[in-house]
Structures are given as C-alpha cells and as structure tokens.
C-alpha cells in the first residue's frame, strides 16, 4: 500500500459490516472509507482499503484517515483536475460553491479548511453542504428553508442520472466541522 495514494471517499452505507471499525460515520447513512488510487492510462483506478490491508501496513484506522485527509488537502490545493467554482454571487437569488469534475470531489466535504474557504467566498457564516454524487460537492448559504429546498430540488433534477449517486441530504458546516443538518421544526 502506497500511503501517498490513500484518500477518503464518501459512500452511502458500509461496503462490508466488518469494515465499520475503519470507517468514519459522517451522518445521514454516509461513511468516509479509504481507497488507494492508482493513475492508469484509462484514468484513476480505485481500490478499497480493507481492514487487513491497514493491519499489514501497520496503520491504525485513525492514522490512515489522517494520512488520507492530508493527501486530500494536498490534492484539493494543487490538482487542477478538481474544479472549484463559485456559481452566482453573494446576495443574488442563487449562489453556491461547487466542487466537481473529479471522483474525489464529494470527499472534499471532509477538508479541514472547507468551512473557512466557503465562508469567505459565500460571505456568510451560515453554511450547508450536499454531496449529490461522487464527483460533486455543493456548499450553499443556509438562508431559509425555501432556498434550501429549491436548490436541493434543482440538484436532484440535474444529478438524476449521475454515476455514483451519494445523497441529497444536507450537512451543516461550522468551525467545529461537519454534522448532519436537520430542518428546524
């Protein structure tokens, strides 16, 4: 196992119940699991990292996830294949931040600096995120329920045929990290 090629990926549900000790629950039934990526002529080849692979490498799950997050942060900061775009402007009817065009895009939900970067670009402290599919992460201002519902409905329409669907559930972003978002009652 090449530690420089280990990345977290978000998956809906556990790959195998025996793998639960090496995953990180994110909420809404999503987990961060580890994959080893290898570049090939056909693109990235992803191989799930099994518990016995971690054990053979002498890594605890915590160490492996720390390495994976470090690799993801370096990737997000330097790899031009990941598209990070602002759609709309703060104060406009619709605006959000879109990470896309790479299989690791949804995993960017776990970036330690995601909240700060999004807060600065979206010009608000109140943020939510959604991971419709493996190749997209949407960070949006919380605004009000109608705005969130409108944007998620549009995402459902746009991403209806996406390869690798994950979830349209919202996550709350804050300086403390990521947690499942529940609409206030």
Give the per-residue pLDDT at 11.
Answer: 93
pTM given for the model: 0.93
Give the per-residue pLDDT at 61.
Answer: 96
Tokens describing residue 78: 């330097």
Instruction: Return per-residue pLDDT of the chain as tens, 185 residues.
Output: 899 999 999 999 887 888 999 999 999 999 999 999 998 888 889 899 999 999 999 999 999 999 999 999 999 999 999 999 999 999 888 999 999 999 999 999 999 999 999 999 999 999 999 999 999 999 999 999 999 999 999 999 998 888 878 999 999 999 999 999 998 87
DSSP for the chain reads: --GGGEEEEEEES-S-GGGGGGSEEEETTEEEEEEEEEEETTEEEEEE--HHHHHHHT--HHHHHHHHHHHHHHHHHH-TTSEEEEES-TTSSS-EEEEESSTTTGGGGG-TTHHHHHHHHHT-S-EEEEEEETTEEEEEE---HHHHHHHHHHHHHHTTT-SSB----EEEEETTEEEE-----
Cα–Cα distance between 23 and 20 in angstroms, integer? 5
Give the per-residue pLDDT at 165.
Answer: 85
Give the per-residue pLDDT at 111.
Answer: 96
Give the per-residue pLDDT at 15.
Answer: 77
């Amino acid at each position: 196992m090449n530690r420089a090629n280990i990345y977290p990926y978000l998956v809906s549900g556990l790959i195998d119940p025996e793998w639960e000790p090496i995953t990180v629950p994110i909420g809404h039934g999503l987990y961060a699991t580890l994959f080893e990526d290898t570049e090939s002529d056909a693109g990235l080849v992803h191989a799930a990292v099994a518990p016995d692979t971690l054990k053979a490498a002498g890594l605890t799950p915590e160490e492996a996830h720390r390495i994976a997050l470090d690799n993801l942060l370096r990737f997000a900061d330097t790899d031009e294949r990941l598209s990070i775009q602002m759609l709309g402007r703060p104060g406009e009817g619709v605006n959000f931040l879109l990470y896309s065009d790479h299989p690791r895009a949804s995993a960017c939900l776990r970036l330690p600096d995601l909240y700060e970067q999004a807060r600065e670009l979206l010009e608000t402290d109140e943020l939510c995120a959604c991971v419709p599919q493996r190749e997209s992460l949407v960070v949006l201002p919380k605004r009000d329920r109608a705005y969130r519902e409108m944007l998620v409905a549009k995402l459902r329409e746009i991403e209806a045929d996406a390869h690798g669907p994950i979830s349209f559930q919202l996550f709350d972003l804050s300086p403390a990290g990521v947690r499942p978002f529940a609409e206030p009652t």
